[in-house]
Structure 1
């Protein structure tokens, strides 16, 4: 790939995303990569003239046709989202007149139902860290810390980034709730459940941890904050110990949280608020999970199915 020496206005755009729109570091990184990739492709075919105002809708369609041959549909959609946002920024700054990414028809995305663990599988996963410790396969600190991590992910429906960013000052132990900073730095209240709260109290007391307002809730032995990749890695250990599918991720524990709530009769809008979804349509996917399970049970058990 031909990498450009510099991309005009890209740094300013990323600053705008991070500080004004308050998008996550992950989203800013992906949007930056989308713009760099687009310019690189234009350079490769000799169409880059050094500015974005000269890019035509025909060039954009050609780019999408080529990208569609090598990229997954979701990847393509994500890249176009970044490029549309970039051109929207350029228009607001008066740097271009038109957005050539407006009105494009993209391949439809498949909408697979989210994967989740059943309640019995979830219990097995939650028990795994302590069982590993009792078997001498995991240190005591790691076992109780990992138990806390799993209880918070499942009990509060937290994103892994929200979990790793959580400080003691954001948790009201008396009320059993956490004030979480979610996507776009939006705040929401997450009930954690009595089990998660007890796990947190025990963890802090047992290992005499720093519980200052800005101290991380989940940490290493050194007291340093855990990173999302470290949480993903330890989850694999406990999935293997519980003989559960290894493709489960922290986000799929969030799927499990939502699915189990709806299975037990929780209101859809309440689940939307608990998850921090901006749109109800995002939360409705979990009703499809429950309906699919009901249909499968009917198919297997009903004589007329």
Structure 2
């Protein structure tokens, strides 16, 4: 009996999955284990993560899938499959990314694995950052596609500078952009606490031109509109993925760009520009500097980083 693998969730995910076939098979292996666990737990019927649990307080009502189901799944893997810590960590990551995708696509109302901890066997994040030359090629390709309104050009530049996540850039509204102080307040779609991101003067000037362009103003709503809207509507995940794929080809890159590659590129560019690791952490809004260190290969040894962090701490 199949439950998850033939669901609309996996069908949509499979259609948009852009990584290697071997990586996709690894994800499918995790989804098979999760499906087997749900069947073992006695789940039957059509799978709906938005109406997964029957409400005890309100008969006839249902609740979205809760985190304790995820906890029990991983406990099951550890106790019954003797899964290694490294494999468990990879399983957590893949299932978490799967649910993040469903949430970004609007297929589920809440992600049961938001802020879910990964076992402490962190491996370096694969370095998929673009080189400076590749960044310039992508920006030139975007400018060539639309030299007048330049929405795509501004969007890519904004992502390369701010390092915003996919959900954050989609939810960012014009009234959260303060060009006078050159900051953007990230209040929606973020995974961590609300923090501003800095914007350099040349990008601020381009944003001023973009947000006063006649095409932009057609769908303006006194600042409450999405900054990178599609005729007033929120930028769709599919639209951004397709744009990055087309720009990759136009720029002559050897591989397609994924949204999170731009976040890693932002970290790389900040590091290359000499920015302190703590400042990179603040710009990316990482809760722990250890996460930031996994985004950028340190140019100095760890002892020096910790020494500098101590110097920059507020207690000094």
| Common topology (TM > 0.5) | yes
Contact 1:121 1:244 survives alignment (8 Å):
yes
User: Residue 306 of structure 2 aligns with which residue?
Assistant: none
Q: CA deviation at 1:202?
A: 1.8
Q: 2:203 aligned with 1:214, yes or no?
A: no
User: Residue 199 of structure 2 aligns with which residue?
Assistant: 192
Q: How does 1:98-247 map to 2 (within 5 A)?
A: 110-133=123-146, 141=149, 144-181=150-187, 183-184=190-191, 186-206=193-213, 207-209=215-217, 210=220, 212-220=222-230, 222-247=231-256
Question: Please, which of 266, 279, 292 is the counterpart of residue 283 of structure 1?
Answer: 292
Distance 1:199 1:75 in 2: 41
User: Residue 48 of structure 1 aligns with which residue?
Assistant: none
User: Residue 76 of structure 1 aligns with which residue?
Assistant: 91
Q: What SS is found at the alignment partner of 1:183?
A: coil
Task: Using structure 1 for the length normalisation, give the TM-score.
Answer: 0.61
Q: CA deviation at 1:77?
A: 2.2
Q: What SS is found at the alignment partner of 2:232?
A: coil
User: Residue 264 of structure 1 aligns with which residue?
Assistant: 273
Size of the aligned set, in residue pairs, is: 224
Task: Using structure 2 for the length normalisation, give the TM-score.
Answer: 0.59
Distance 2:40 2:259 in 1: 35
Distance 1:218 1:57 in 2: 39
Distance 1:62 1:268 in 2: 39
User: Residue 253 of structure 1 aligns with which residue?
Assistant: 262
Counterparts in 2 of 1:120 and 1:270: CA distance versus 1, 3 Å: same
Q: Deviations over 1:124-161 (max 9, x none)?
A: 11111222346xxxxx54xx110111011012111121
* Stretches of structure 2 lacking an aligned partner (at least 5 in a row): 5-31, 44-67, 98-117, 302-316
Q: CA deviation at 1:43?
A: 4.2
Of Structure 1 and Structure 2, which has the larger fraction of its residues in helix?
A: 1
Q: Deviations over 1:279-302 (max 9, x none)?
A: 11001124426579xxxxxxxxxx
User: Residue 25 of structure 2 aligns with which residue?
Assistant: none
Distance 1:218 1:197 in 2: 15
Contact 1:170 1:179 survives alignment (8 Å):
yes
Q: Deviations over 1:56-103 (max 9, x none)?
A: 9995546545x88xxx76552247889xxxxxxxxxxxxxxxxxxxxx
* Stretches of structure 1 lacking an aligned partner (at least 5 in a row): 5-32, 45-50, 83-104, 135-139, 293-305
Q: What SS is found at the alignment partner of 1:189?
A: strand
Q: What SS is found at the alignment partner of 2:212?
A: helix
Counterparts in 2 of 1:35 and 1:274: CA distance versus 1, 3 Å: same
Larger Rg over CA atoms? 1
